[in-house]
Amino acid sequence: MAGEEKEEKKEQGAEPKKKIPVMLMVIVLAAVLVIGGAAAGYFLILAPKMKGEGKGEGGGEAKQEQVQKKGTEEGEGGKEGGGGPMKMLDPFIVNLADAQGQRYLKAVIQFEVDNPAADGEITVKLPQVRDEILMILSNKTFDDVATVAGKRMLKREIASAVNRYLTSGQVTQVYFTEFVVQ
């Protein structure tokens, strides 16, 4: 009997020792999951936003070249065949023409052109094109750009204004890849 009591004491004494490592493992595993989740959230959500905001002057040009290559690889047919080459412009930030002057518009515009020569011509005449777009955007009020119909009219107006500067091709579509009014 004395031998059985000693074995029971050994089992009881060994039992708490087994629980401590298991409990420690659970805590460590939970901590690793929390840290891993935080790291994944940072890299998937915050890092791309910071990368987009922090790009330097050279970043926009590289992005434009990638968009140009993508547009020419997809084909240069008509609107139904996937569209022509794409030309992305740097963001526009303007004050709207509201009475109080408290609202501003941020827009990122991308053009679809009917041939690569028009793309090159836009690059050459970029100061005139940007000036024309800035004049159009800054003369708009919040009511002008708040509706879908207003945005479509703005697209047509921009395409028409840019096409006046082009001789080797035309802008066939204007796309807003970002459009924020605040």
* pTM for this predicted structure: 0.55
> For 138-182, how does the pLDDT look when each residue is reduced to its tens digit (9 = 90+)?
999 998 999 999 999 999 999 999 999 999 889 999 999 999 998
pLDDT, position 135? 94
Indicate the domain borders of the chain.
1-54, 58-181
> For 116-126, how does the pLDDT look when each residue is reduced to its tens digit (9 = 90+)?
888 889 999 99
Q: How far is CA 122 from CA 32, 87, 113, in A?
A: 52, 8, 10
Instruction: Tell me the CATH number of domain 58-181, given options 3.30.479.30, 3.40.50.300, 2.60.40.1120, 3.40.710.10.
Output: 3.30.479.30
pLDDT, position 82? 58
- CA dihedral of 167, 178, 49, 63, whole degrees rounded to 10: -10
Of 152, 138, 149, nearest to 181 by C-alpha is 138
Structure tokens at 152: 């479509």
Of residues 73 and 168, more confidence is placed in 168
Of residues 39 and 5, more confidence is placed in 39
